[in-house]
Amino acid sequence: MNRVSLWTIVLSGAALMLPAAALAEDGDAAKEAMIARAMSAGPAQIADDAKIVHHDGSVLREGSNGWTCMPSMGPGMDFPMCNDATWMAFMQAFAEKKDPNPTGVGVSYMFAGDVPVNNDDPFDTTQDPGETWVAEGPHIMVIVPDAATTLKDMTNNPNAGGPYVMFKNTPYAHIMIPTGPRPEPGDK
């Protein structure tokens, strides 16, 4: 039996034995854990008043400062992030494979790092020989209007030792600013 189906059976059986009040408490504890995870993505002065949104779009906590933090980006992408409104619009365009065309600077914090991605092709899902893939550690991401012109002279080499452009020469080009070490291969 694979691990997923075993855990499904174990958790389903355990849930049947818990009283309704305990299930509500567990739900509250899980929600609070997701909120804490989302808040860990950015600086406290932003995360403390940010809206917290699950990757499915459900609001876990309302916010008051125009920022949105998420505990993960989706199944298998357990990396929290905090985004300003410009970055949220950028993410929506990315999800729909549309050009984002930001009119101002956008900022995103990912203090827990990110999943490995092809630094040149935003939609590549398979690492092939010769491609530049990077699993960034803690970092800040910045988008700018007219990235093709603004970022044309900035390196896209993630190993250059400082900020670099991810997805250069695509509509999704943005600045990556590492703030800590990268994970070792095999680390999450």
Mean pLDDT, range 63-76, rounded to an integer:
88
Per residue in 30-69, pLDDT tens?
899 999 999 999 999 999 999 999 988 899 999 999 999 9
Is residue 154 pLDDT above 80, yes or no? Answer: yes
Give the residue numbers spanning the domain of 99: 3-178
Other C-beta atoms closer than 10 Å to the C-beta of 107 total: 19
d(CA 141, CA 143): 7
Residue 185: pLDDT band with limits 50, 70, 90: low
Question: For residue range 130-152, what is the model confidence (pLDDT) as tens digits?
Answer: 999 999 999 999 999 999 999 99
Question: Does residue 186 fall inside a structural domain?
Answer: no
In whole angstroms, what is the distance from residue 12 CA to residue 80 CA?
Answer: 27
E strand or H helix that includes residue 118:
strand 117-118
Query: Where does the pLDDT of residue 74 fall: very low under 50, low under 70, confident under 90, or very high at 90 and above?
Result: low
| DSSP characters over 51-109 | EEE-TTS-EEE--SSS-EEES-SBTTB---EEE-HHHHHHHHHHHTT-----SS-EEEE
114 located within any domain: yes
Number of domains in the chain: 1
Q: How confident is the model at residue 10 (pLDDT cuts 50, 70, 90)?
A: very low
Its pTM stands at: 0.81
Q: How far apart are CA 154 and CA 148, in angstroms?
A: 10
More reliable by pLDDT, 85 or 116:
85
Asked whether residue 183 is domain-assigned, the answer is no
| φ, ψ at 60 (rounded to 5°) | -90, -30
What is the three-class DSSP state of 24? helix
Q: What percent of the chain has pLDDT over 70?
A: 83
pLDDT in tens, 105-120: 999 999 999 888 999 9
Question: What CA–CA distance (Å, rounded) separates 8 from 37?
Answer: 23
pLDDT attached to residue 55: 83
* Residue 167 predicted with pLDDT over 70: yes
Q: Which residues are CB-contacts of 170 (< 8 A; sequence separation ≥ 6)?
A: 120, 121, 122
* Assigned domain for 188 exists: no
How buried is 149 (Cβ within 10 angstroms: 0-12 exposed, 13-18 middle, 19+ buried)? exposed
- 151 in any annotated domain: yes
| Distant-in-sequence, close-in-space partners of 173: CB < 8 Å, separation ≥ 6 | 143, 147, 148, 151, 165, 166, 167
Residue 64 tokens read as 């008051």
Contact assessment for residue 146 and residue 99, using Cβ atoms and an 8 Å cutoff: no
Is residue 135 in some structural domain? yes
